[in-house]
Structure 1
Amino acid sequence: MLKKIDCVMIRVSDVKAAVDYYTAVFGLRLIWWDEESAGMAFPETDAEIVLHSKTDIPGRVEVHYLVEDVETAAQTLRANGCRILVEPFPIAIGKCMVIEDPFGTRLCILDMTKGPLKPGLQIP
């Protein structure tokens, strides 16, 4: 069911400053942005670091795992002992939910049913 790590989301106070830092210090490349977040590419994987300033995302650092369809995954995971902590909700690329496995581990699950964000060249 889990296809890959899609992204690691990191909440920052200043997205523009964080983009500059992650580019200069960690060697990541800016590939997209919106008003509150920016996607940074690694050189050897398609997983991203997403720098964001969204206070409604509960954790400071969250790993998001890609699945084919969040709604289908929710049914399967419930049937296999997982608790849905945050019911599926819409995001720019599809849907997301937060689960807890039977061992108490919290996992963020997302799909790309709306398609990926379009690449951008600079932060507005």
Structure 2
Amino acid sequence: MTAVKVRLAQGTPCWVSLMTSDQEGAMAFYGALLGWEFTPGPTPLGAYVRATLNGAKVAGIGATPARTGHPVEWTTYFAVDSADDVSQRIRECGGTVAVGPLQAEHAGRLAIAADLSGAVFGLWQGEEHIGWEVVGEPGAPAWNELLTSDEPAASAFYGAVLGRSVVESDAAAVARGEDDATLVVGGFPVAGIRRSTDLRDGPPRWRVHFAVADTDLTVRRALQLGGRVLVGPHDTPYGRVARLTDPQGGRFSVVQT
């Protein structure tokens, strides 16, 4: 378990947020599955709550307007020193800034963008809210990885936009199931980039992993709560993993480290 008490360095994932067509249903599902409780959050984009684990903030759940067709999806946010400066680099590197930068009350400044392949991600310039307050504990975020058909282009994009190193994995590591490349901040891996042509992954996107104490038990519980299994429990270099959806279709993974 890692407690987070200071603003994370630029380029480090610092928050995950679900936008869903059924906020109350999502709160019931994730609350029962991961042990979350909820507190009100800032509302620049509509109704929004923060999920807490033993009082520590770990994620957000927002409501999409009815009948917009907006996909139910988790979004990974990266810590940045200036959301405005990084947004400008996104445009210069060929990406798209869809929302913001805008102020989320006194919590911080955010933007929502898409990379060259259309994978959506967020920027968070923390002020009163620095991001998640615990990682690696069951119920908290554990890892974020980009699924893309063009790993070299994605690696170049995120390295340039975030001003951080992206390290390519060797062939033996990829064959073992590790990510094709890793975003590195301060000498430590903080996120993965994985080449994927698996139709179950859907279009390019950032995949969120939550830590759990028992992957197999979590999968059974998710099914009881109305979720769905995309890929059943299996062992990986990172731990025992399963890929699931919530009842509204939001995709996420769980990992028993």
Q: Once the 2 structures are TM-superposed, how far is the Cα of residue 14 of structure 1 from its aligned partner?
A: 4.2
Identity value in percent: 20
Structure 2: any 5+ residue segments left out of the alignment? 1-33, 35-138, 175-179
Q: How does 1:1-124 map to 2 (within 5 A)?
A: 1=34, 2-4=139-141, 6-15=143-152, 18-30=154-166, 33-35=169-171, 36=174, 37-41=180-184, 47-48=190-191, 50-56=192-198, 58-59=201-202, 60-68=204-212, 69-112=214-257
The answer on whether the counterparts of 1:67 and 1:73 sit within 8 Å (CA) in structure 2 is no
List 4+ stretches of structure 1 deviating above 6 A. Answer: none
Q: What amino acid maps onto 2:147 in structure 1? A: I
| Structure with higher helix content | 2
Cα-to-partner distance string for 1:12-31 (whole Å, 9 max, x where unaligned)? 4243x543442233213336
Which structure has more RCO (C-alpha within 8 Å, separation ≥ 6)?
Answer: 1
Is the CA contact 1:62–1:108 (under 8 Å) kept in the aligned structure 2?
no
- Residues 73-103 of structure 1 deviation map (CA, whole Å, 9 limit, x = unaligned): 1122122221212211222211222212122
For the pair shown, the structure with the greater C-alpha radius of gyration is: 2
> Are the aligned partners of 2:149 and 2:197 in contact in 1 as well (CA < 8 Å)?
no
The answer to which structure has the higher strand fraction is 2
CA distance in structure 2 between the partners assigned to 1:107 and 1:66 by the alignment: 8
Q: Which TM-score applies when normalising by structure 2? A: 0.35
The farther-off stretch of 19-28 and 74-83 is 19-28
Q: Which residue of 2 aligns with 1:122?
A: none
The aligned length equals: 108
The alpha carbon displacement at 1:6 in A equals 1.4
